[in-house]
Copies of this chain bind each other. A is one copy, B any other.
Amino acid sequence: MNDIHNVSTGCPAFPAVLERVFGFAASVQQYMEAGLAEHGLSRARATVVWLVHRGGPQTQRELARAIGVTARNVTALVDGLEESGFVRRTAHPEDRRALLVQLTDRGSAVTAGLAAEYERHSAYLFAGLPEEQVRQFVATMDTVMVRLAQVATATANR
């Protein structure tokens, strides 16, 4: 069970589902990046801002692990965010090697504005759809995401 190479073709009626999912994902990301760009943020930098907003001040190493990129890359991202005034580097109180990344006032304000904007758009995107349909949509996304992870680890250990 749970084996990728032994499926009894559970869904033969949709040959191009995955292709449509790819298109959907591309559209979503394009929309997301457009919204971020209006506030002077890129996807990569917004990820950092969002994580700091969620988890509070963190070291660059923690951010690198959370995002799944190299520490060197986070250095560059924080460089840009610091220059554009979204975040600030502060000394870690216990570890003199580490630096804590925290939001500036402007960083917090932009984050709040973005969240509100997306909330507003979200209401429009799903407006009129039966609540049950939206619920099931989210559930299907979750199911597919879990299996995507399975496929990823399966092909990684090959």
Contacts and interface: CB of A to CB of B under 8 A. Distances in A.
A50 B147 CA distance: 25
A51 to B, nearest CB: 13
B22 A32 contact: yes
Contacts of A149: 27
Given A129-B140, A147-B125, A155-B38, A21 B11 contact: no
Interface in A1-38: 4, 7-15, 17-32, 34-35, 38
B138 A10 contact: no
Interface of A: 4, 7-15, 17-32, 34-35, 38, 118-129, 131, 133-138, 140-145, 147-149, 151-152, 155
